[in-house]
Amino acid sequence: MKTFEEKWTAWIDGELTGPELAEFEASLPDKAAAEAEKRDALNLGVFLKQQLQGRTMGNEEFFHHQLRERIAADAGGADVRESSGTKRAWWPLGRLVWAGATSLAIFAVCTVFVLREKGPSDQSQYLSQILNARVDPVVSPNATISMFESKKDRVTVLWVDGLQSLPSEYATK
């Protein structure tokens, strides 16, 4: 169901017909005042259509306008562009590229200084050295010891097989 405003607009535009038109006109409290308002709205619409037409730009004027814009852009006339209503980009592509390159250079310099400050040490603080690698045959008669050392990976593996208990004199430093 249409609201009163929708029916009013349709009545002014002449879109109401038949029983809907008769029902709407019957619901108006003052039909003469409504007819006068309808006439005024139609006259206003005609007046606005006559007065508010946009000026059409001919092909020649449009071409000259484009040509003037290009000349102003080539001459570096930034204020000509701004006065004509065209906005400049806040971060043009060239400025963005330079900012990115500068940021990468600063990052590279900082990385070099941080890595140069703390070089890898020769020996890890967790490296242990085996002092004695022997097993007492009385404590563990079937025990065997195997040592594997890899200088490249900085790993020493002590494989003790069959040991029942480790004597206290086996120490690591």
Q: Flag whether pLDDT at 78 surpasses 50.
A: yes
Q: Which residues, 6 or more positions from 10, have their beta carbon under 8 angstroms from its beta carbon?
A: 2, 16
Handedness of CA 18, 22, 25, 31 (dihedral sign): positive
Beta strand segments in the chain, E: 144-150, 155-161
Cα–Cα distance for residue pair 1/96, rounded to 1 Å? 57
**pLDDT over 70, % of the chain:** 66
Cα–Cα distance for residue pair 45/129, rounded to 1 Å? 101
Please give the pLDDT value at position 1.
Answer: 63
Cα–Cα distance for residue pair 110/58, rounded to 1 Å? 60
Q: How far is Cα of residue 41 from the mean position of the Cα atoms in its chain?
A: 49
Query: What single DSSP character describes residue 3?
Result: -
Please give the pLDDT value at position 51.
Answer: 84
**pLDDT over 90, % of the chain:** 14
Cα–Cα distance for residue pair 154/121, rounded to 1 Å? 12
Residue 160 phi/psi, 5° resolution? -115, 120
Mean pLDDT of 133-138: 64
Please give the pLDDT value at position 124.
Answer: 56
Mean pLDDT of 8-32: 88
For residue 69 the two structure tokens come to 């814009």
Cα–Cα distance for residue pair 171/173, rounded to 1 Å? 7
Please give the pLDDT value at position 77.
Answer: 57
Confidence label for 2 from pLDDT (cuts 50, 70 and 90) = confident
For the chain, the average pLDDT equals 76
Confidence label for 173 from pLDDT (cuts 50, 70 and 90) = very low
